[in-house]
Amino acid sequence: MTPAPINPTLATEAANTTPQAPLRPGRPTLARSEAINADILNAARDHFLSLGFEATPMESVAVAAGISKGTLYSRYPTKEALLQAVVADRLQAWSAEADARHGPMPTDFKQRLNYIARTILESLASEEIHAFQRVLTSTADAGGELARALHEAGHRSAIAMLSETILQGTTNFPVPPRDPTRVAEMLMSMLTGWYDAHRRVRDIGHEEAMAFAEHAVDVIFHGRAAW
């Protein structure tokens, strides 16, 4: 068989071409990195809520998120760190959901307090929040670090929001409040105490809870002389 003639132009180009190294995968883009993290947190949330903290393997979370164990551990070196990240992520989601339900924060001082009080009671009634509380109480968290993390992220952030609202709303008052944080804690205690006491023995309807939130704000608001 006669071999096919060689095209001299192609032969010259081939001789002068430098072999190219295979492309190496680079660092993921910011959008891809955020998508990976969202996949991790969603997979971890589902595992923690269905299996509990202790029974959730990190390897299983990596598989569900479609990543390697190395990628997971590079972002979250421990399961405790992963749970804290999941809780922080869900707190942001719950806040966004509350904003979507109630609309933008009112500008009127008292209505802002009502807005926050209603949001707090709705959070207390959230089944997902109750599920996370059960997960935290079932962990072997000897120092209580995870429970404190949830407390700081949830309870303390609500107190800070109430305190800031009271500070902003009383700038024109003849006498400013002596301790805005103490007033915020009183309102928070009224809301959480009422909810916890009644929830132990009966279901609390949404309308009843919203009515109590507004009544609690009325009591606090009309007691301004004691602020």
pTM over 0.75: no
> In this structure, are 90 and 169 located in the same domain?
yes
Separation between Cα atoms, residue 20 and residue 42, nearest integer Å: 40
> In this structure, are 89 and 73 located in the same domain?
no
Q: Is residue 23 in a domain? A: no
CATH number at 169 reads 1.10.357.10
Maximum Cα–Cα distance across the chain: 109
45: containing domain:
29-77
Separation between Cα atoms, residue 135 and residue 147, nearest integer Å: 10
Task: Identify the three-state secondary structure at position 193.
Answer: helix
Cβ neighbours of 154 (radius 10 Å): 21
pLDDT string in tens for the chain (227-residue length): 444 444 444 344 444 444 443 444 556 788 888 999 999 999 999 999 899 888 999 999 999 999 999 999 999 999 989 988 998 888 788 777 777 776 778 999 999 999 999 989 988 888 887 787 778 776 766 456 666 766 666 788 889 999 999 999 999 888 889 999 999 999 999 999 999 999 889 999 999 999 999 999 999 999 998 89
Number of domains making up the chain: 2
> In this structure, are 119 and 214 located in the same domain?
yes
CATH number at 52 reads 1.10.10.60
Q: Where are the beta strands (DSSP E) in the chain?
A: none
> In this structure, are 132 and 216 located in the same domain?
yes
